[in-house]
Amino acid sequence: MSWTINDSDANGYLNVCKLAATTDEYFLNFKSNSDYNRILEHVWFELGQKYLDEVCINYENKLDEIKENDMFGSPVTYHYEKVGNISPTTLRYLKNTSDIIDKFGVDIISIVEIGGGYGGLCKVLSSFINFKSYLLVDLEECNLLSKKYLNKFNLPAQSHRVEEIEVHEDFDLLISNYAFSECTREMQLEYIEKFIKKSQKFYVTHNNMNLHTNNISDMEFIEIVSDIFDIEYYPELGEEGNPKIIYGVKK
């Protein structure tokens, strides 16, 4: 396993991903499955409100399109005064999108995401950025699910395991929403060499929940890449449910 998450949680999550990818019955409800929620789709109402309050881009004319991310998988949704019924996880992806656009703009053609999950961030981001390619790098079970999910929206996305990919050109943007910080040290070093150092910009949300496993901390990550990237670091955001944010632009 390439994660520092305990095996029982990881195995239950991956089993749901595989079942949702291969059977319509599981696909209809995977976002509300308890085994899946141990890893993803576990944002609570109040945190969703916090994410919504921090969005700094104009999204009102995109709201129906953003809510398309809740069409499949039966996520738990709540009523928010500003936007109506929506999944708080979708609000997290809207906050990520806001961060990225506020820092880097929308002129982004190629994107790689470490740990793309079912593809929710790809879907929400597509409402604002007209990217031409989006590569999700994850485990095979997750890739099967994201291929099925993103195909529903006809997005220019591909999902692969890290060992399947040969990188020959730089990406405009690399994204990791928690996933990089939850990988083993060996996998993190591979991601840095193969993807992060071959990206013009990056947006990484990072937590230090698994330091006992000797994976790379936020500060060590910054030290490793700071000779290549100009870094902006926001450690004060590292409260429960709200990760530290690290931006990088290649020098």
Structural domains for the chain: 7-250 (3.40.50.150)
pLDDT reported for residue 182: 85
| 213 band by pLDDT with thresholds 50, 70 and 90 | low
Cβ pair 246, 233 in contact under 8 A: yes
Report which listed range, 122-131, 166-175, 199-208, is most confident: 122-131
Alpha carbons 8 and 30: distance in angstroms, whole number: 18
Round the average pLDDT of the chain to a whole number and report it: 91
pLDDT reported for residue 1: 46
* pLDDT, average across residues 207-222: 76
Give the lowest-confidence range in 41-45, 78-82, 89-93: 41-45
Give the strand pairing for 133-137 and 110-114.
parallel
> Is the pLDDT reported for residue 238 higher than 90?
no
Cβ pair 136, 120 in contact under 8 A: no
The DSSP symbol for 240 reads T
